Structure 1
């Protein structure tokens, strides 16, 4: 069905009357793929956002317009993630494993932004985020000697 044709291949030249049947069919397939991709993407973009994206006739141009419209600042994201990691606290009904995994995910995102967080630093963040009933566990971890 060539659904991704317009995403993978640049637009072929618009056929003329002297173009071969192959060229006409190639353009027709590309045009259909482009139209279907545009409809699909536009139908999945929130209506409030759709209005801020300029009109485009080509799916590649539309995707580029979306990217330009919503470029995020790595510094702002890093600041937000660092703040979130430093103030996170475990909430009672939530499982500790899920809480720890969420903190690890935030650390991984920070690493992808080239902000180094050592594993031992992350462990201390996690331990400090646990409630007082984990005090014995914290003491045990902090007093445990690591083997070389």
Structure 2
């Protein structure tokens, strides 16, 4: 069975993912800087950005501090951690919690190639040596 995360957060919507990508690449951003930064990809109203930022904070992805009267946001989760949680949710949902089933499916559908499997095996072996 998959080793589930103790601090599992609700999944990100595509729009929340877009905002998180911006926050990860622009630490300590404001709602305004986020809106302006995303304008080239998606035109969003200020109220929409503020709502998304509030939801992300409620879900545990962001924290904020106040500078004067401005909320300044920063990520409380790393991209790698969020990706790992998303994979955990996929494994639970589609593979009955079995990482082995996921990997076998990736191999059978030729998503993973032999070279990638060898690299993964080497990383797993190195981690085992490091732990024990």
Answer whether TM exceeds 0.5 for this pair: no
TM superposition score normalised by structure 1? 0.24
Q: Which has the higher strand share?
A: 2
TM superposition score normalised by structure 2? 0.26
Highest Rg: 1 or 2? 1
Q: Which has the higher helix share?
A: 1
Q: Which has the bigger relative contact order, CA under 8 A and spacing at least 6?
A: 2
